[in-house]
Every structure is written in C-alpha cells, then in structure tokens.
A and B are shown apart, each in its own frame.
Chain A
Amino acid sequence: MEIIVFYLFAAIAVIAALGVVGLRNPVYAALCLAVVFVSFAGLYVLLSAPFIAVAQVMIYAGAILILFVFVIMLLSPPVDQGEGALKWQKPLALGFVGALAVQLVLVLALAVLPSARGSLTPEVIAQRGDVQVVGAALFSDYLLPFEMTSLLLLVAIVGVIVLAKKR
C-alpha cells in the first residue's frame, strides 16, 4: 500500500517537474510547480514529517507560488520563443545536467548509506507531536539560526520594497 502511494506521488512529481521545465507559457509552468509542491508534501507525510508537509504547502504553494503568479500576471512576459542567439545553450545545459545525473545515480546506487534509526522513532514522534518536537528544537538547539533567519527576513523585506516599490 505504502509503496503504491509513493509511486503515485513520485510519478506525479516527476511528470509535473518536466512540465515546469518544458512548458513555454510561464503561467502553466507555475501551475505545474504547484503540483510538484503538493506531491512533495505527500512524500513528506510518507516520511512521517507532517510539519514539513504542512509548511511545504503553506509556504511554497501558498506564498512563493502566489508571488510568482502575481509577478507573471503583472509583467505578462511574452511566451518564451524557442531558439535565440544562444543556440548552444540548450545542448550544453543538457550535456552538463546529463553528466551530473549519471554521477548522482551512480553515487546513490553505490552508496551503502546507514539506515539504522536514532532515538526518535516515528512512534515517539507521533506521541510527542511532531510540531512540538520541531518547535522545541528551533527554540533551543537552533536558536541562533532561528534568530538570524528572522533578521534576514526583516532586511530582505526592506530591500525588496526599496527595489520594487513605485516611484
């Protein structure tokens, strides 16, 4: 049962990802991206990480994607027109990515990664409540990166407004 759900989400994610890259109209690409985000959320649930799954849907699908769609609508950029001056760009990109893909698959097939679990089994996590565990970690062990990220978001907002606001 589990494996069927996995294949389902994985297949949807890969097909939608190909759509993201293959479709020329940016609005369609953005919509395919939404499908990728949601199917990834499904995979996170399978991995017993419901908090990440929810964050994925809320932040990626809810915030980032909406931002993309807004900007696409705002600028209504022309549909990407096939070949331009950079004819060598696509073959080059394909070659580079192909090499990387072969390498990664080899690595992952060869690597005998340890798969023993630590002290937090899914059962323990389910008992203590996933959000609670992650939240406690964020405010104790990961306090510094947490505060740093909040600063980063604040200044990023200021900078983005300076760049994008109307005269």
Chain B
Amino acid sequence: MIPLPFYLVIAAALFCVGLYGALARRNAIAILIGIELMLNAVNLNLVAFWRYIKPASPTMDLAGQVFALFVVTLAAAEAAIGLALVIAIYRSRDTVNVEDVDLMKW
C-alpha cells in the first residue's frame, strides 16, 4: 500500500500551485481556476485521510468521503456564482482583468 504522506505531499503541492495561481494572476477567470485547484487538493487530503486514519467513532467511518462530496458540490455553486459575477462585470466594463476593476481604490 502506498504510504499516506505520498498523497498528502501531492495534495500540498497542488494546493500551493493553485494558491500561487489565485494570487499571481489578474484575470478573474484564471483566479477562479486557481481556486478550483486548491479545492481539489483539499479533497485529495480528505479522501486520503479517510482511507488511512482510524475514525474516532463509527459515525465518522465515512466522514472524509462525505466531506469531499460536499466540497465538490459547493465548488460547483461557487464557480457558478463567480462566473455570474464575472459576466456581470464584463457587461458593464468589457474587462475581466481585476486590475482594471478599480473604480474604488483597493
């Protein structure tokens, strides 16, 4: 069986790559994509923990898997809301670049 830290390191790597994408890009859609990567990394963490660790009680037998399912669902809702906001802002200003969205001072 593959040791647990292997999965955790992959998840940590993807999380950091996603975070870098979210922080370094200026295109709102690119930032959103980075956030999706981060959520995926968390899911890998959750499922790996579920597979390897001892649940504290029988009701927690499936906790990691179920948590991961909810994260997937909420990621879908989050993407939809984020893209709707992007569309709204594109309609009013013709840009998706966060830097150009500067009517108010950051």
What is A's interface to B at a CB cutoff of 8 Å? 2-3, 6, 10, 13-14, 17-18, 20-21, 26, 29-30, 33, 36-37, 40, 43-44, 46-49, 51-52, 55-56, 59-60, 63-64, 67-68, 71-72, 74-75, 77, 80, 84-86, 89-90, 92-94, 96-97, 100-101, 104-105, 108-109, 113-120, 122, 133-134, 137-138, 141-142, 145, 149, 152-153, 156-157, 159-160, 163-164
> Main SS of the interface on chain B?
helix
Q: Are A149 and B70 in contact (CB under 8 A)?
A: yes
Q: Are A17 and B18 in contact (CB under 8 A)?
A: yes
Q: Report the Cα distance A33→B79, complex, angstroms.
A: 14
Query: Which residues of chain B (31-75) have a CB below 8 Å from chain A?
Result: 32-34, 36-37, 40, 43-44, 47-55, 58-62, 65-66, 68-70, 72-75
Q: Are A68 and B24 in contact (CB under 8 A)?
A: no
- Contact A118/B55 with A17-B14, A134-B65, A149-B70 known, Cβ cut-off 8 Å: yes
Chain A residues in 8 Å Cβ range of B29: 26, 68, 71-72, 75, 77
Q: How many residues of B contact A (CB 8 A)?
A: 73
